[in-house]
Homo-oligomer: A and B are copies of this chain.
Amino acid sequence: MNLKNDLILRAARGEHIERYPVWLMRQAGRILPEYRAVRNSLSGFKELVETPELAAEVTIQPVDILGVDAAIIFSDILVVPEAMGLEYQMLEKRGPWFEETIRTQSEMSKITTDFDIEDRLGYVLDAIKITNKELAGRVPLIGFAGAPWTIFCYMTEGQGSKTFSVARKILYTNPSLAHQLMSDITDVTIRYLKAQVQAGAHMLQLFDSWAGILGPDQYAEFAMPYIKRIADAIDEVPLTLFSKGAHHSYGPLAALNCNTIGVDWQIDMTLARKLVGNNRTLQGNLDPCALYASDEQLVNSTKVLLKSFENRRHIVNLGHGVYPDVDPEKVKVFVETVKNFKL
């Protein structure tokens, strides 16, 4: 199917664009009353993730309502550890929670990489197919996965944490176990991302949400090699690497086989450009809290961001997922400001 709007793909590849493309991380979700209506009719978050028709419906909502230049498949990074054998729950207020964790060599027997992606994650692939059918080429569809380090955090810690000291302890006390688990996650992630492309994803993003908790040396030793393996394996579609909070990683990430580097709001875009160089696209990085301001202030801070770009290799986004209590009207102001900005 031909895409009517392929702006974000051209921006990712560094091709000519007539304006900057814009989308928001977590655009399909709690900010929209239309999402909450679907979500509240179900038993929980996981039922929505695992029901392809409904996942497709909420994936498309922000395209219709907010006018963004891309859809991102409604899913969760934790479907990968679950497919490997560790079931997750999404608890109200508390967030993700795993009954079982991997902290010792013998606990590796709880998981496997020897399974068919279609078999265990077919619901995501089906959601991608339905979404593309219903989008009918209006915008590209982004697939995604968690980066191995972030998935490792959840598989060892079993829940969110301020320090992830259980996960990080293993890097010191049992580095070979850490590498083995990271490698297993990587194998599954590569097959999963390729299956998403096969199902119809037009581009891919790798989320390393807990990148910022590691020092530069450990990030280089335990996280980067596995991101590299994934990047090397993905040639079919543009790939975005988002290592939140790890500004030291921007240079090394940009040297990998990828198209776009995701940028959080805690760094100036000018410095991010300096670290990344001119051969990669940057994605980001308005502070999610800027969407709490008045329309006038929001337009202004969006324009300040756009004017700070030193070249056209940019995809506009927030520096992190949109916060759930943001007014969708503010998101529209943000999106429209980007779309109306003359290059």
Residues on A close to B: CB < 8 A?
A: 160, 162-163, 165, 168-169, 171-173, 212-218, 245-248, 265-268, 271, 287-290, 292-294, 297, 319-320, 323, 325
Contact = CB atoms under 8 A, between A and B. Distances in A.
Contacts of A290: 172
Contact of A215 (B213, B217, B287, B293): B287
A160 B162 CA distance: 10
A216 B289 contact: no
A172 B215 contact: no
Contacts of A215: 265-268, 287, 319
A90 to B, nearest CB: 15
26 contacts: A160-B162, A163-B320, A163-B323, A165-B288, A165-B289, A165-B323, A165-B325, A168-B289, A169-B289, A171-B289, A172-B290, A172-B297, A173-B292, A173-B293, A173-B294, A212-B245, A214-B266, A215-B267, A215-B268, A215-B319, A218-B287, A245-B266, A247-B247, A248-B266, A248-B267, A248-B268
A94 to B, nearest CB: 11
A215 B169 CA distance: 29
Contact of A267 (B163, B168, B216): B216
A218 to B, nearest CB: 7
Contacts of A168: 287, 289
8 nearest CB pairs, A to B: A172-B293, A168-B289, A169-B292, A215-B265, A172-B292, A165-B323, A215-B266, A215-B287
As for how many copies of this chain the complex holds, the number is 2
B292 A212 contact: no
Most buried by B among A172, A267, A323, A325: A172
A267 B268 CA distance: 17
Given A265-B215, A268-B216, A172 B247 contact: no
Contacts of A293: 172-173
A225 to B, nearest CB: 19
Given A215-B266, A266-B212, A172 B248 contact: no
A162 B244 CA distance: 13
Contacts of A218: 287
Contacts of A165: 288-289, 292, 323, 325
A35 to B, nearest CB: 19
Contacts of A292: 165, 169, 172-173
A126 to B, nearest CB: 32
A33 B281 CA distance: 53
A232 B16 CA distance: 52
Contacts of A246: 266
A61 B245 CA distance: 36
